[in-house]
A = this chain, B = another copy of it.
Amino acid sequence: MSVTAIGSIALDSLSLPTGEYPEILGGSASHFATSCSLFTDVAIVGVVGEDFHNDHILYFKDRNIDTSGLQVVHGKTFRWKGKYEKEAMDQAITLDTQLNVFETFHPEIPEKLAQTDFVFLGNIHPKLQKEVAQKTTAKLKVLDTMNLWIAATKEDLIQALAEVDVLIFNETEAREFTGRENLKEAAKAVLDMGPKVVVIKRGGEGAMLVSAEDLFFVGGYPVEQVIDPTGAGDSFAGGLVGYLGESGDISRESLRRAVVYGNIMGSFNVQGVGTEVLSQASREEVDKRFEAFKRMMEF
């Protein structure tokens, strides 16, 4: 196993311009692992309730995603209900959140997973992210966070950051967390807190990477139509960590390519509802899009 991902597993009910999609597979770990599994072996650590569909478990198994760290407990699975409006597809409107079994989730890392080289700490409480980061001996620990934790548990998040190598978040979160309008400055403020690399996701506008050695900008892969952006950030992270896990290379050049792969996986994610299109993509299609993107950007 080269990547272990800790995060949420949810049943999402989406209201999209193209229709209503009740209780489909969602959550940060689901999108991350779907994306990551195109590159390398990945295991998920998370929790679901007794109502979690067997076909979702099979979905993971069919993708060779290790579920030995998936806890099935009494109670109901985490549910999120959200809406997107045609004119503002980049802004999720939360209609309802039911944490359910996710509220008391405590990640347990099976011994074989504690040895993986790459760990992804997805959307869970930063105290748990810190705890997992301290327990694993991974050569690269990547943390993703979201506005909720920045607003409610900023101090815990700062402590978690001291334990990881890479922080991934989006531009709004970068500004909220650091109070800096300029994204490069925001990233530099985070570098002072522990991470060696900061990746700022910019939705359809691409991403940037900032480290002591590098400053890298990449535009967004042009997508004809955004169907559902839910999980795009996690798919981005899945491509990024997946590529690093596959290559085993964390050089400056490899990190740049990993960010571009993240971009590409995010572009597949938004083209379908939930993991619909992402999960149908082949590694060949991913590489084809990577190469086409490279050609579109060269000068």
Binding site for B on A (CB under 8 A): 182-184, 205-206, 208, 215-219, 222, 224-225, 253, 256-257, 259-260, 294, 296-299
Contact = CB atoms under 8 A, between A and B. Distances in A.
Q: Is the interface of A mostly helix, strand, loop or mixed?
A: mixed
Copies of this chain, count: 2
A182 B225 contact: yes
Given A184-B222, A205-B205, A222-B184, A216 B260 contact: no
A205 B204 CA distance: 10
A222 to B, nearest CB: 6
B215 A296 contact: yes
Contacts of A206: 219
Contacts of A218: 219, 297, 299
A263 B74 CA distance: 57
A218 B294 CA distance: 11
Contacts of A217: 219, 222, 296-297
Contacts of A259: 299
23 contacts: A182-B224, A182-B225, A184-B222, A184-B224, A205-B205, A205-B219, A206-B219, A215-B296, A216-B296, A216-B297, A216-B299, A217-B219, A217-B296, A218-B219, A218-B297, A219-B219, A253-B299, A256-B298, A257-B299, A259-B299, A260-B299, A294-B299, A297-B297
Nearest to A297: B217
A286 to B, nearest CB: 15
Contacts of A297: 216-218, 297
